[in-house]
């Protein structure tokens, strides 16, 4: 009698382990296609985020089932399947939860500039943003205050090198990043480009302004998302990384 109950319990645990792993794999597949589906136009970015949310819930459910199976597992195979479900579930649920944390901890802004008093204007990019939910114009002082509080390190750069040398170095860096180039006007010191995210295909537009000043060659940079209320810090990171590379390429004023 006891042997029969033990076998029945072992069978149930194996089923739970397999169900947990299948659910975790399904959550992974859903999460993987959420981005490409948006890139190819199958659904909007809101739909992609909804799919990620569902995938995260399924992944967490798989983790719970996996823990139950680990506790009850009588066979090594069932335990291994349950562990795999738990690990995969944590991985799949981790990314959307991290994005949610960033969305809660960062301000709802998507336009970042090193000069908020006189942000570099978009020119060539303007026609490309006609249908974009976020207009090309700078949103104003409220966003500037939010940016200064969240990203105080985003600031203009001054270089000892001449204006043309700095412009050329900035243009090379922009092209090396694989950005779509829209304008490179040496006489105006203006570079415009677009950066596309790898997964969801979100497009952020960039404008770089290189100008002479009494302290040296000054570089200002602005990066703005076409969609979404929050950029999750992506535009600030882009500006910081670009200017850090430009610091290496040309001589920065101490």
> Two tokens at 76?
């090594």
pLDDT band for 72, please (50, 70, 90 cuts).
confident
Residue 195 burial by Cβ neighbours in a 10 Å radius (0-12, 13-18, 19+): buried
Q: Which sign, positive or negative, has the C-alpha torsion 136, 141, 147, 148?
A: positive
pLDDT in tens, 108-122: 999 999 999 999 999
In this prediction, residues 82-93 reach a mean pLDDT of: 94
| Residue 136, pLDDT score | 95
> Two tokens at 146?
């939010």
6, pLDDT greater than 80: no
pLDDT band for 100, please (50, 70, 90 cuts).
confident
Close Cβ partners of 43 (under 8 Å, ≥ 6 residues apart): 37, 51
Buried b (16+ CB within 10 A) or exposed e, 11-44: eebbebbbbbbebbbebbebbebbbebbbeeeee
pLDDT in tens, 185-218: 999 999 999 999 988 989 999 999 999 999 999 9
pLDDT in tens, 122-140: 999 999 999 999 999 999 9
In this prediction, residues 91-105 reach a mean pLDDT of: 86
Residue 54 and residue 88 in contact, taking contact as beta carbons nearer than 8 Å: no
Residue 220 and residue 113 in contact, taking contact as beta carbons nearer than 8 Å: yes
10, pLDDT greater than 80: no
pLDDT band for 76, please (50, 70, 90 cuts).
confident
| Residue 240, pLDDT score | 98
The architecture (CATH level 2) of 111-249 comes to: 2-Layer Sandwich (3.30)
| Residue 116, pLDDT score | 97
What is this structure's pTM?
A: 0.86
Q: Which sign, positive or negative, has the C-alpha torsion 219, 183, 110, 249?
A: negative
Residue 125 and residue 194 in contact, taking contact as beta carbons nearer than 8 Å: yes
In this prediction, residues 220-246 reach a mean pLDDT of: 96
251, pLDDT greater than 90: no
């Amino acid at each position: 009698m006891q042997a029969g109950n033990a076998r029945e319990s072992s069978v149930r645990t194996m089923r739970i382990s397999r169900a947990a792993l299948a659910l975790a794999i399904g959550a992974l597949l859903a999460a993987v296609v959420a981005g490409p589906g948006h890139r190819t136009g199958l659904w909007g970015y809101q739909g992609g985020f909804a799919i990620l949310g569902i995938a995260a819930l399924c992944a967490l459910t798989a983790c719970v089932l996996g823990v139950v199976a680990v506790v009850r597992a009588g066979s090594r195979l069932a335990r291994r399947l349950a562990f795999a479900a738990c690990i995969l579930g944590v991985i799949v649920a981790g990314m959307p939860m991290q994005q949610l944390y960033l969305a809660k901890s960062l301000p709802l802004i998507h336009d970042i500039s090193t000069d908020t008093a006189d942000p570099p204007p978009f020119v060539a990019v303007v026609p490309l943003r006609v249908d974009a939910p976020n207009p090309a114009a700078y949103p104003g002082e409220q966003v500037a205050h939010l940016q200064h509080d969240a990203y105080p390190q985003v600031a203009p750069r001054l270089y000892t090198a001449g204006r043309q040398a700095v412009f050329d170095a900035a243009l090379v860096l922009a092209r090396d990043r694989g950005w779509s180039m829209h304008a490179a006007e040496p006489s105006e010191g203006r570079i415009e480009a677009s950066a596309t995210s790898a997964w969801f295909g979100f497009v952020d537009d960039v404008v770089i302004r290189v100008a002479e000043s009494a302290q040296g060659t000054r570089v200002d940079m602005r990066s703005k998302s076409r969609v979404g209320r929050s950029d999750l810090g992506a535009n600030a990171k882009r500006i910081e990384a670009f200017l850090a590379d430009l610091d290496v390429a040309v001589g920065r004023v101490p």
